[in-house]
Amino acid sequence: MNKVRKAIQFIFAENEGFSLENRLFLSSIVVGILTSMVGSVANLLLVTSLTAAIIPLLLSVLLFLVYYFVRFKQKIEAFKVPIIIIALISISVIWVFNGGINGSNIMPGFVILILGLVVFPDKKKKYVFLVFVALNIVVYLIQFYRPDLITNYSSETERWIDSLFTLIYTSYFIFLIVKFIHNHYTLERKHSLNSELRHRLSEENLAEAQRIANIGSWEWDLNKNTVKCSKEMLRLFDIDPETFDGHPESLMRVVHPEDFHFFKESLYNNFEQENSPSVEYRIIHRDSSVFHVLAETRIDFDLSGNSVRSIGTVQDITKRKQVDEALRASERILKET
């Protein structure tokens, strides 16, 4: 089982660092090779038409060459659009030489359609659908106006066997595609959850570092006039997180009246500058104690040059101010002495 697992990993390049979209494309090529080979063998055994047996075989050879360049040369983008178009055209030609609209090749056509919708970029998915519909309409028109070009089955038993066999193997390949997508979706979801966990831990570590350094952070949306504050910011401003409504006025109420203009400067002014200068002001806690803080602001602008977001930090510098005052007092006493 380990050898089989390693072979599967090698074929689908699971350990080669391919993106999810490119892994899906590579898997689509592998599924396309298998589908074409099985279809060729089936048409050959049923002797529906030599053309219906040769074209899938040629398509599988072409897909194998594409697989080589995608898997080992990693030339991916250049092949995505043409290979799906070629596959759709080929299956339409096979349809004509294998029973026409009464044949069974509509199922392989749907397999190719699904593969195209999976690997094509979002903006080009509609073109895959349009090509698929257009080719089907062409086959219908050929059978309606030139039924002599259609290679029919020699008996209803042959038609029944071909339809049943095609239904089984195309359904199985659709199952493989869906299973592959589900597995990789689960894998990407797991990576996303791990990334989210690391991000959350990083935020928690940052919050802890800010708490130790007595630094709070805030982000003000200038268009909505709402402020998001970190827990440390609310603690510095002595604001209950449960009652904080996100309005700048909630922060203004705790600012010392004599320093209110400094607080406004840290929030509202200097929007024309990318970085406004540091601003000091005092805040008053509910127990009437006074704290000194240092605010630094960065302004984000949109493409039109309008200020859209104000991001800043606030640091408690009360102890620093107290030390500075004590030093100045000592210097004053020393000078007087």
> Would you give per-residue pLDDT tens digits along the chain (337 residues)?
677 777 777 777 777 777 766 777 777 788 778 777 877 787 777 655 677 778 778 888 888 888 888 888 877 777 777 877 887 887 777 777 777 777 777 777 777 787 777 777 777 888 888 888 888 888 888 888 888 877 777 777 777 877 777 777 777 777 777 777 777 667 666 666 666 656 555 555 555 544 555 677 778 787 788 888 888 888 888 888 887 888 877 778 888 888 887 777 776 554 445 555 678 888 888 888 888 888 877 777 776 667 777 777 788 888 877 777 777 777 777 777 7
Position 193 scores a pLDDT of 64
User: Do 173 and 34 touch, CB atoms closer than 8 A?
Assistant: yes
**What is the distance between the alpha carbons of residues 158 and 256, in angstroms, rounded to a whole number?**
92
Q: Which bin fits 100, alpha (ψ -120 to 50), beta or left (φ > 0)? A: left
For residue 215, give the H/E element and its range: strand 215-221
In which residue are the tokens 């659908």 written?
A: 129
Starting at the edge strand found earlier in the chain, the sheet holding 290-301 runs: 226-229, 215-221, 307-316, 290-301, 275-284
Hey, what are 29's tokens?
A: 């090529």
Q: What angle do CA 181, 184, 187 make, to 5 degrees?
A: 150
In single-letter form, the type of residue at position 99 comes to G
> How many of the other CB atoms lie within 10 Å of CB of 223?
10
Q: In a 3-state reduction of DSSP, which class is residue 293?
A: strand
Write the DSSP assignment of 176-188 as a string of letters. Answer: HHHHHHHHHHHHH
Position 184 scores a pLDDT of 66
Longest dimension (CA), the chain: 122
Position 271 scores a pLDDT of 46
**What is the distance between the alpha carbons of residues 107 and 136, in angstroms, rounded to a whole number?**
12
**What is the distance between the alpha carbons of residues 46 and 234, in angstroms, rounded to a whole number?**
78
